Amino acid sequence: MAFRWTNDLTRADVTPERLFLNRRQILGGLAAGGIAGGLGLRAEAQEALEPNTWEEITSYNNYYEFGTGKDDPARYADSLVTSPWSVTIDGLVDRPGDYGFAQIMEAMTVEERIYRFRCVEAWSMVVPWNGFELADLLEMAGVQTGARYVAFQTANRPDQMPGLARPVLDWPYVEGLRLDEALHPLTLMATGIYDRPIPNQNGAPLRLVVPWKYGFKSIKSIVRITLTEDEPPTSWNKANAREYGFYSNVNPEVDHPRWSQATERRIGGGLFARRQPTLMFNGYDEVAGLYEGMDLTENF
């Protein structure tokens, strides 16, 4: 590869683990207090920041394949069988096939990447991921000359994922990147968080992390990667193209139709901390060259 990514963040920047895993409960408490919508601060909402037990932390998450209730993933995600696990890599590759998770891990060099994480809902955090560059996995399969995009698919197991019975999205969950985005050294295939395997409800055993894009682009529990010439469909774009574009780059100048993206609230900064300005590309200026000459207002 042309260069390896170097980190500008340290462990001191990391969102505390209890806050990372419990972020949706915190945001729920803020919304209940009228804070998330920019209303007056309520002191009683501060209790949402008190440390939770492990049971509380892991019982509040968002993974629609297990249901839309925030405690549904923890209630049902244990039913997801993650071992053995394989990823089908096909399309415009030299060596298509089913790659076992153990086979992949044996061939890859896992490292820690401390990344900013920005949600389309206008909150942010810093997360220490463990994983390897997606480019290394694609090299393992051999990318053919005609490939221009990379498509991803989440596991689709109705017997293990009760949320699939509801038409919340057009299942299975799918995402996509342009090939040059996928090959960028920042693009990570994550296998762990805080030096521990990713819990089922957070996307075990293998998920994508693209730190300059909104979080929903970081597809969970990947079972298929397809190299293609044409731009692939993506789940949230199919559900509402007006609100969720294919690129979904973090951009303070392009608002979500229902809220501003100019600022964000850092999880772990305290309930009374001021909102901070959103950074273009979430602060990862090294990807700007990927979009040279593009209208990022139109290609949001």
Annotated binding site: 61, 64-65, 119, 154, 202, 207, 218-220
Going by C-beta distance under 8 Å and a sequence separation of 6 or more, which residues neighbour residue 14? 114, 126, 127, 128
> Binding site for Mo-molybdopterin: residue ranges?
61, 64-65, 119, 154, 202, 207, 218-220
Taking only Cα atoms into account, the Rg of the chain, rounded to an integer number of angstroms, comes to 19
Q: Quick one: which H or E segment has residue 19? A: helix 17-21
Peptide bond between residue 172 and the one before it cis (omega within 30 degrees of 0): yes
Distance CA 95, CA 140 (A): 8
CA 98 to chain centre: 23
Please report, for residues 82, 144, 193, the alpha-carbon distance to residue 73 in angstroms, rounded to integers and kept in the order given.
Answer: 15, 38, 17
Coil, helix or strand for 290?
helix
Instruction: Classify residue 199 by its DSSP letter.
Output: P
Q: DSSP for 23-79, please give it.
A: HHHHHHHHHHTTTTTT----GGGGGGGS---HHHHHT----GGG-SSTTHHHHHGGG
Coil, helix or strand for 1?
coil
